[in-house]
Amino acid sequence: YDINAVAQELARKDKPDAAELAERQDIERELRRVLRQFGDSGNDQYLPVLVQETQTYIAFYRGRYREWFERAYLRKHKYWPVVSEVFARQKLPIELGYIAFVESGFNPRALSHADAHGLWQFIPETGRRYGLAQREDLYDIQRSTVAAADYLVDLLSIFGSPSFLLATAAYNAGEGRLMGCLRQLDDPFKKRSFWEIRGCLAPETQEYVPRVMAAAVIGSDPKRYGFDLPSEEDIRK
């Protein structure tokens, strides 16, 4: 091996170039905007971690998962008016709509190996709690979106608006799992944070939050992040 060449490669990876740094600043601004909607100042000590991991997933969506992302994004526009209307009625920030992006790729007929169904990937038991009594209700866009909004309101009520990352993670893992992890903290009130309990969660849930954030950040301005996709404004024209 050429030791000098290896050292240069490591240095390149350790020190992002100007374009990466500029993109990171854009991501941080967008994440701070999202956080403020939930009553979070964005000054949390873990914000740099969220920014870095969000950027990593943006790169992931641009790379290996680009084709999947673009298909899901184009499907999104068909169902986004329903999501926007229901979430506005419940006073939920629209960024939480990207949970459906990660859950199903906005495929209303999606079915997972865990028997989760539809756009919002409700399992039958949780669906029944929120009025989705019949299996076909799980695939109904309007009814399942209303159920998802009700569930998110409940999760935000349980964990508190400033802890919206906990609520987002709970959508994936279930509120019981997160409450069990919080109980293991020596101070579950002062340390009430997704980052404090992250190691207690399954790997899928650990990565769930930055995946949702990455989808929301790209969705705010696809062209800025290297996607030749129409924005919401383009679609409405």
Q: Which residues are catalytic?
A: 103
CB-count burial class (<10 Å; 0-12, 13-18, 19+) for 6: exposed
- How far is 64 from 83, CA to CA, in rounded Å? 28
Instruction: Find all residues with CB under 8 Å of 203, minimum gap 6, and list them.
Output: none
- How far is 151 from 22, CA to CA, in rounded Å? 36
Positive or negative, the CA dihedral 18, 59, 222, 144 is negative
Positive or negative, the CA dihedral 163, 164, 170, 176 is positive
Contact 212, 98 (CB under 8 A): yes
- How far is 175 from 143, CA to CA, in rounded Å? 22
